Structure 1
Amino acid sequence: MLIQAARTLFALAVLLMASMAWAQTEDQDAAAASPPPPAEVASGEFSELYRIGVDDRLQVSVWRNPELSVTVPVRPDGRISVPLVGDVMAGGRAPQEVAADIEKQLATYVRDPKVAVILVDLRSHEFISRVRVTGAVRQPVSVPYRQGMTVLDAVLQAGGVTDFAAANRSRLHRRDAEGAVETREIRLGDILDGGKLESNLDVRPGDVITVPERAL
């Protein structure tokens, strides 16, 4: 009796292990057949979308349709050419917006298309992302934007202010998404001479900092 019971328990254990292995294989096969999940956009100050510019190179990938996938430059008119769809406006738009536009147009020819637009060469980025410092500084400059850069960083790269600068009347000029220019007061003299950092703002790509001369 004991031998028969042991044999029964052993058989049940083998069946249980086989069932678990089969279920794991089924889960892996189902995951492999699913399309890749959309990329998540991080929250916070680094979630701002990059806007495509002229001369950037884009990789357009259509899931399960490699014959429709291309790598193309952005033409001077801001457009790219995509198989079946033709010309698509890319300049001034985020990659996600361009992908959604292509998906919508491809739906006429492809069932439930999934499109990814990837920037492979950011040729327009150099000038779009620069920060410029002008006016009463020792060397007016146009410098590449760097993550974490502040007004003080940009002014120091311009060699600091001249002896004739009205540093506390400095201004930071920034263009918003609608194209309007926003101006902020920068008390640069307090930053440089007193270490008061209240107006030492973080800069953004495309910002312009102006330092006026004081009246004689």
Structure 2
Amino acid sequence: MSHGLASLFRLRPLVAVPLALTLVSTSMLGACSSPTASLPALASTPGGAYKVGAGDKLHIVVQDLQSANGDYIVEDSGAISLPYIKQVNVAGLTYREIEQGIAASLLRQGIMTGDPVVNVGPVELRPFYVVGEVNKPGQFEYRQGMTVLAAISAAGGYTYRAKTGKVAVTRVVNGKDVTASADEFAVILPGDRIRVYERWF
């Protein structure tokens, strides 16, 4: 072997080693990044009156129309079924807007005259869900003003493998699922799905 070739072969391992180290370092950095790092931040909880969604249970009272009084669950279609006026779309509406809509339907269909008095209030809001690295994943009853930390506590707290501090929250916005990252103090809404990821060791 000539002196030039021997020198070339002696140099090749010196070139390969830094390349291998670079690949290992890049791989380790990728593995250590958080699954929530690429997600947008969870939008602030919208203010104003609560808007009803599928799965909510409502209590409705119509003055002088006792047969319509009772509890109604909002269907997946976003509607409830009332006697006489049948389907009433309520998803995305406030309680006041639902009252006005029912009263207008009663008048329009000639079921009542004058100015119908309708009262709508919550019986039970749709549940939220916690999955991933918690001790008791599942579906839980929502309470007004709940935070991510309160939701995780309801699910039995973090497992020892959990990445704490940041979670992913999937929420229906304008009829579409939107997933964002949230810290423990973020306020959740009925129907939110919270995922706690495993910590990268």
Give the TM interval when normalised to the shorter protein.
0.5 to 0.7
**CA RMSD, Structure 1 to Structure 2 (Å):** 3.6
Cα displacement string for residues 76-107 of structure 1 (whole angstroms, at most 9, x for unaligned residues): 7732113xxx4242553544335335425524
Partners of 1:55 and 1:187 lie apart in 2 by 29
> Where in structure 1 are there 5+ consecutive unaligned residues?
1-43, 189-199
1:168-198 CA-to-partner distances (Å, cap 9, x unmatched) read 562111112x22112221356xxxxxxxxxx
User: Which of residues 163, 176, 179 in structure 2 aligns to 1:180?
Assistant: 176
User: Contact 1:49/1:94 (CA < 8 Å) preserved in 2?
Assistant: yes
Alignment of 1:33-182 (within 5 A): 45=47, 47-51=49-53, 56-61=58-63, 66=64, 70-72=68-70, 74=72, 78-82=80-84, 86-90=85-89, 92=91, 94-95=94-95, 96-97=97-98, 99-104=100-105, 106-107=107-108, 109=110, 113-119=114-120, 122=123, 125=124, 128=126, 130-167=127-164, 170-176=167-173, 178-182=174-178
Q: Is residue 204 of structure 1 aligned with residue 195 of structure 2?
A: no
Q: Partners in 1 of 2:66 and 2:156 — Cα distance?
A: 51
TM-score (norm 1): 0.53
- Tell me how far apart the structure 2 counterparts of residues 163 and 111 of structure 1 sit (CA, whole Å): 61
User: Measured at CA, do residues 203 and 71 of structure 1 come closer, stay the same or move farther in structure 2, by a change above 3 Å?
Assistant: same
Change (3 A) 1:89 1:147: closer
> Which structure's residues are more often helix, by fraction?
1
Q: C-alpha distance in 2, partners of 1:151/1:51?
A: 20
Deviation at 1:55, TM superposition (A): 6.5
Cα 1:89–1:152 change in 2 (3 A) is same
Q: What is the TM-score with the length of structure 2 in the denominator? A: 0.56
2:106, 2:112 within 8 Å by CA — same for their partners in 1?
no
Letter in 1 for 2:86: D
How many percent identity over aligned positions? Answer: 22
Deviation at 1:163, TM superposition (A): 2.2
Separation in 2 of the partners of 1:159 and 1:173?
A: 20
